[in-house]
């Protein structure tokens, strides 16, 4: 082995990397990654959101959770329908998803199963059960805050079931998630259409560097997120506009 040529060593290394990745990812049943579109796939080491892991999505502004929710819905609109329905674990008394609005974003509301547990404890139990289930495509959890132990349990459950988990949380905290996204809203063109336009930041990502906020335009479920040419230097500038 030591005397092998450069090309041979590269083959062996590639093979080892592949095997390690398979061990880490566990059995990939539902497709191993979820592509988000050309604008965001380059940010992620695997070229998409890793299935079989939990990802956090946080709103930039606490009072405007719709952007983070919209980002999750748009990402899930790109999930293959054959993977199974999407379980949405909602917190009670916080408004509800509106099917006609979902259709407008290119998401089929028929794929959603809405679950409203009465307590945070029940929500975590249901999330763990659902993440372990092979018949579920993705699980979205709305939580106010989450300790490290529950987060770790959810991650293990997602790994066991090969299910994509999205954690919608209001505030940052201890986390053992695969990636954490911070989503804000961006003003659209005055004359332009109303297609969703988001400021997306990747705060942390396992196996890759974090990314600064950038404006992303949604181009429909087929294409996904496309980066806008105008980069955002800082969110402070936006804050001054307000």
Partner 1 sequence: MRRLAAVWLPFWPVERQRRRDPARFPAGRPAALVAAMTGGFRLTAVDALAAAEGLAPGQLATDARALVPALVMQPGDPAADARALDDLLHWASRWSPMVARDGTDGFVLDVGGASHLFGGEKALLADIGRRLGGLGLTSRQALAGSAAAAAALARCAADHCIVAGGSAAHAAALAPLPLAALRLEPAIAAALIRLGITTIGQLAGLPRPSLDRRFGGGPTQCLDRALLRAAEAMSWVEPMPRFRTFLPFAEPLAGRAGIEAAAARLGEALSRLLGEAGQGVLKLVLQLHRVDGARPCVALSLIRPSRDPVHLQRLICPRLDGLDIGFGLDAMALVAETVAPLGAEALALGAADGASSREALAELVDRLSNRLGREALACLEPVASHRPERAERLVSLNREDRADREDRSGARAEMLCLADRGPERPLRLLGRAQPIEVVAEIPEGPPRLFRWQGASHQVVRAEGPERLAPEWWRADATMRARDYYRVETASGGRFWLYRDGLYQRRGDGEGEAPPAWYLHGFFA
Q: Using CB under 8 A as the criterion, which residues of the chain lie in contact with partner 1 when the complex forms?
A: 29, 61, 63-67, 69-71, 73-74, 82, 84-85, 93, 95-105, 108-110, 112-118, 122, 125-126, 129-130, 133-136, 184-188, 190, 194, 196-199, 218, 238-239, 241-242
Q: Which is nearer to partner 1, 155 or 216 (CB)?
A: 216
- Residue 31 dihedral angles phi and psi, to the nearest 5°: 85, 135
CB of 27 to partner 1, least distance (A): 12
Other Cβ atoms closer than 10 A to 219: 15
Look at residues 200, 202, 198, 201 and name the one whose alpha carbon lies nearest to residue 186: 198
Q: Which residues contact 179 (CB under 8 A, 6 or more apart)?
A: 44, 49, 50, 55, 56, 202, 204, 205, 206
Q: Which is nearer to partner 1, 175 or 201 (CB)?
A: 201
Q: Which is nearer to partner 1, 54 or 130 (CB)?
A: 130
- Residue 195 dihedral angles phi and psi, to the nearest 5°: -60, 140
CB of 40 to partner 1, least distance (A): 16
Look at residues 119, 115, 167, 122 and name the one whose alpha carbon lies nearest to residue 146: 167
Query: What is the SS3 assignment for 75?
Result: helix
**Which tokens go with 85?**
């329905």
CB of 98 to partner 1, least distance (A): 4
CB of 78 to partner 1, least distance (A): 14
CB of 226 to partner 1, least distance (A): 16
Q: Which is nearer to partner 1, 71 or 181 (CB)?
A: 71
Q: Which is nearer to partner 1, 7 or 241 (CB)?
A: 241
């Amino acid at each position: 082995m030591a005397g092998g040529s450069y090309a041979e060593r590269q083959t062996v290394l590639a093979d080892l990397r592949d095997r390690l990745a398979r061990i880490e990812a566990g059995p990939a049943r539902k497709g191993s990654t979820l592509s988000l579109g050309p604008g965001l796939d380059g940010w992620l080491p695997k070229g998409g959101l890793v299935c079989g892991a939990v990802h956090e999505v946080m709103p930039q502004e606490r009072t405007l959770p719709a952007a983070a929710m919209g980002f999750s819905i748009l990402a899930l609109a790109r999930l293959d329908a054959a993977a199974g329905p999407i379980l949405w674990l909602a917190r009670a008394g916080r408004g509800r998803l509106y099917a006609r609005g979902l259709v407008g974003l290119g998401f089929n509301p028929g794929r959603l199963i809405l679950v409203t547990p009465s307590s945070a404890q029940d929500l975590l139990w249901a999330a763990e059960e659902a993440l372990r289930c092979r018949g579920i495509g993705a699980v979205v959890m709305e939580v106010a805050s989450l300790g490290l132990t529950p987060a770790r349990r959810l991650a293990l459950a997602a790994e066991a079931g090969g299910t994509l988990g999205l954690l919608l949380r209001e505030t940052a905290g201890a986390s053992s998630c695969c990636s954490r996204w911070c989503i804000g809203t961006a003003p659209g063109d005055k004359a332009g259409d109303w297609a969703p336009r988001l400021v997306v930041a990747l705060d942390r990502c396992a196996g890759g560097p974090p990314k600064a906020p950038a404006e992303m335009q949604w181009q429909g479920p087929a294409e996904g997120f496309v980066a806008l040419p105008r980069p955002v230097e800082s969110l402070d500038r936006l804050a001054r506009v307000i």
